[in-house]
Amino acid sequence: MRTLMWVGWTNLRRDRVAQMLTFLLPIVFFSIFATVFGGQSDATTARIRIAVVDEDHSDVSARLIQGLHNEKSLRTQSTADASGEGTVLTRTAAEQLVRSGDVPVAIVIPAGLGAAFSTNGFAGGGPAVQLLSDVSDPIAPQVVLGLLQKVAMTAAPDLLMQGGIRQFEKYAGAMTPEQKSAVDAWLPRLQAQAPVSGAANSASASTAMPIAVDVVDVMRTDNRRGSLISFYAAGIGVMFLLFSSVAGAGGALLDEAEAGTLERLLSTNIGMTGVLVGKWILLALIGCLQLTVMFLWGRVAFGLPLFSHLPGFAIMTIFTAAAAAALGLVLASLARSRAQLSGFSTILILTMSALGGSMFPRFLMSEGMQKLGLLTFNAWALDGYLKVFWRQAPIWQLWPQLLVLVSLTFLFLSVARVLARRWEAA
Amino acid sequence: MNVLTVRDARKNFGQVAALNGATFELRQGELLALLGPNGAGKTTLIRAIAGRVRLDSGEIRLFDRVLDGRRTPTDLGIVPQEIALYPLLTARENLEAFGGLHGLAGAGLTRQIDWALERTGLLDRAGEPVKQFSGGMRRRLNIACGVLHRPRVVLLDEPTVGVDPQSRDRIYDMLADLAASGVSLLLTTHHLEEAEARCSRTVIIDHGKVIAAGTLSELVEQTVGRFRLVTLRLDAPLSADLARAFAGGDNGSGVDESGRTLRARMGDVAAELPPLLARIRTDGRAVDDVEVRGPSLQSVFIHLTGRELRE
């Protein structure tokens, strides 16, 4: 027993990969997830960007907009440019901002809201505020809805009270002159109590619902579930594409080097560049096939709208698989053994997948983490698929994602070629 | 005619001199054995010829072309020590793959594959995955993949390692056929008896330098000389006086620790053996067994390197 324990301990002490997998990997992942998810509660939590359209131009709508603007967790935009420049937003422009993914929610304050609010107060009855939303982000619309109700309660308490008194008089009879005088003296004080920084915190305010709100899904409403499935198919698909590319590249280079077939290949006319290009093309084709099978399964089992998005899917899949294959070759060229490749690539791929949105949507992360995610391969691939399946973007709008993926592909292939020199003539 | 010439090849890996002025030639149609202890520089030399190691200095010529050490020449066939095959592919598919990479295609490729399968005795197993093959069959296919494109010079690194004697014979028959057809073969091996029996010439390398080259008889002449080693086994230990008289030097002669085995080097056995037997008889001992052996590659090797091949 003691001898077995000694042998096992000695093996562990001398096996760096085993040590890494045993001790380092859990720490790395704990740190990543603590950073990604733990960051949601601190000061860097993402502020929700919203577009605001004022079709009412009343005192009430102005106060609502000011109240929304004062909310710490919101970043409002009333003009075409987020910096405050450009033309004032219209409903159409705001909807386009949501559709393109620039903001997850837009609030449209319809004409007549101010008048109804002043007249009826809590009784409502006015036109409904419209919340134009992108339901690929299930959190933002709900948060904005709650904050809107809170702002409605706190931004114009005097107007709300005036409306309430009118309703009271309508059903209970007019107030006495003394009562009226007291109310008139009280209203300015009430107006002065309106918060200037969104610090008001009334639990009942959010439940009173003083204004009616219609939530409008501006994205596809005909097959919303299928489009959401495409988002998850892409997330999981890209992560496993990376795993299979690394495994394939490891088999293509490390196993062949170990078996001696790489030596034999290099003694033919093909050369190291030819070997790498041949392996890269094969890995990319297998990756395309892998993603296609995954999306086809999504179509069959979950109604994913694959066939109505075939060109965009094909382009994103080809470019994503090409970049993943090239990354696999880099890692395989870098590693000295299969075990080393396995340990290192597992850490890298899971880290990239966590940061890049394969495991957890990036739009739910803090702003800093969202920006950090852009350093990963996954984020660009997922953004591309999201544009195709969710935002219905025309193919030309994929150019930023495709440019990054193509650049990464060339970068990875170049690095792999340099690293592969170790298998060439000594 | 020399098809391959290596002149003063030098290669250092850090402080270690893997090749230290190696020089030798390979002639057309010959089967040349490259022998040397482990770490002598055999593999480095083979890899340098194959374009896988760049020399620090020296020159390698193949058919009067100086090799640049960057690419493997097309008229060179390489058979690595590892079984460099794809185990999930069949024998025919492996040959198709490597033949294709060597530029063969169509009917020419098919013809060469049939030739290789026939020469290796694998024609009836051509459709089976290599992973189902025995060690000997894999070795034969490994060689076939290296000679499929009909190279004029073939380098073989330990082509018979780990195979049974029957498979070894088959492999050497195959190599002999290739040599008979004009192909020149350079092979490394640890089996001295194979090199002695099957190769036309031998090159012995040690510490990165060729220390002897030639046919077996040439090597014997150059090193241990023409002698016979006579071994006598006695019924009882020799007397102390006689044992002292026969105490040998470093040439293999002498009496062993038991005093019952006597070894003697003789240039002329017929003249020298009878007086020795008479002296033993006078000492009151009888001879149980007599063995007379001529010089072998083993003795040449030990004479030159001072160690066994596998050390």
pLDDT, tens digit (0-9, with 9 covering 90-100), for B232-264: 999 999 888 888 887 766 666 788 888 889 888
Task: Identify the pLDDT of residue A192.
Answer: 61
Q: How many CB atoms lie within 10 A of CB A305?
A: 20
Average pLDDT, chain B: 87
Residue B212 binned pLDDT confidence (cut-offs 50, 70, 90): confident
Task: Identify the pLDDT of residue A208.
Answer: 44
Residue A204 has pLDDT above 50, yes or no: no
**Tokens standing for A269?**
């006319």
Region A85-102: mean pLDDT is: 83
Which helix (H) or strand (E) element contains residue B147? Answer: helix B135-147
Query: A266 to chain B: which residues are within 8 Å by CB?
Result: 52, 72
Complex confidence, ipTM? 0.74
* Beta carbons of A268 and B98 less than 8 Å apart: yes
Asked if A275 is an interface residue toward chain B (Cβ–Cβ < 8 A), one would say no
Region A231-260: mean pLDDT is: 86
| Reported pTM | 0.72
- The residue among B134, B158, B164 whose CA lies nearest residue B146 is B158
- The residue among B265, B264, B260 whose CA lies nearest residue B285 is B260
For each of the domains in chain B, give its residue range(s) and CATH number, in order of start: 2-222 (3.40.50.300), 228-294 (3.30.70)
* Beta carbons of A261 and B70 less than 8 Å apart: no
* Beta carbons of B83 and A270 less than 8 Å apart: no
Asked if A204 is an interface residue toward chain B (Cβ–Cβ < 8 A), one would say no
d(Cα B34, Cα B47) in Å, to the nearest integer?
13
Q: For tokens 């896988």, what's the residue?
A: B52
More confident: A408 or B40: A408
* Beta carbons of B54 and A425 less than 8 Å apart: yes
**Of the candidate ranges A270-284, A366-380, B1-15, the one whose mean pLDDT is the lowest:** A366-380
Q: Tell me the CB-side half-sphere exposure of residue A147, using CA atoms within 13 A.
A: 28
* Beta carbons of A263 and B102 less than 8 Å apart: no
Sign (positive or negative) of CA dihedral A197, A203, A208, A214: positive
Which helix (H) or strand (E) element contains residue A190? Answer: helix A177-192
- CATH code given to domain A48-217: 3.40.1710.10
User: Which of B74, B82, B83 lies nearest to residue A269, judging by beta carbons?
Assistant: B74
Q: What is the 3-state secondary structure (H, E, C) of A338-378?
A: HHHHHHHHHHHHHHHHHHHCCCCCHHHCCHHHHHHHCCCHH
Asked if A278 is an interface residue toward chain B (Cβ–Cβ < 8 A), one would say no
Region B150-165: mean pLDDT is: 88
Region B99-117: mean pLDDT is: 91
d(Cα A108, Cα B263) in Å, to the nearest integer?
112
Residue of A nearest to B79 (CA): A264
Per domain, the residue ranges of chain A are 48-217, 223-423
Under a CB-based contact definition with an 8 Å cutoff, are residues A10 and A332 in contact?
no
CA dist list (Å): A295 to A241, A289, A370: 13, 10, 26
Beta bridge partners of B74: none
Distance in angstroms between the alpha carbons of the first and the last residue of chain B:
35
* Beta carbons of B82 and A260 less than 8 Å apart: yes
**Tokens standing for B58?**
């020296």
DSSP at A6: H
* Beta carbons of A260 and B98 less than 8 Å apart: no
Under a CB-based contact definition with an 8 Å cutoff, are residues B100 and B154 in contact?
no
How many Cβ contacts (< 8 angstroms) between chains A and B? 54
Helix (H, G, I), strand (E, B) or coil at B245: helix
CA dist list (Å): A425 to B56, B69, B146: 12, 7, 19
* Beta carbons of B101 and A261 less than 8 Å apart: no
Query: B74 to chain A: which residues are within 8 Å by CB?
Result: 269
Under a CB-based contact definition with an 8 Å cutoff, are residues B99 and B112 in contact?
yes
Asked if B62 is an interface residue toward chain A (Cβ–Cβ < 8 A), one would say no
Residue A197 has pLDDT above 50, yes or no: no
Give the gap in angstroms from C-alpha B119 to the nearest C-alpha of chain A: 21
Give the gap in angstroms from C-alpha B155 to the nearest C-alpha of chain A: 11
Under a CB-based contact definition with an 8 Å cutoff, are residues A398 and A316 in contact?
yes
Under a CB-based contact definition with an 8 Å cutoff, are residues A388 and A312 in contact?
yes
Task: Identify the pLDDT of residue A206.
Answer: 37
User: Which of A260, A265, A425 lies nearest to residue B53, judging by beta carbons?
Assistant: A425
Query: A267 to chain B: which residues are within 8 Å by CB?
Result: 50-52, 72, 76, 78
Residue of B nearest to A422 (CA): B52
Task: Identify the pLDDT of residue B27.
Answer: 93
**Tokens standing for A367?**
């702003």
User: Chain A 210-269, CB below 8 Å of chain B: which residues?
Assistant: 259-261, 263-269
Give the gap in angstroms from C-alpha A334 to the nearest C-alpha of chain B: 20
Amino acid at B257: E
Residue A198 has pLDDT above 50, yes or no: no
* Beta carbons of A425 and B51 less than 8 Å apart: yes
DSSP at B63: T
Residue B124 binned pLDDT confidence (cut-offs 50, 70, 90): very high
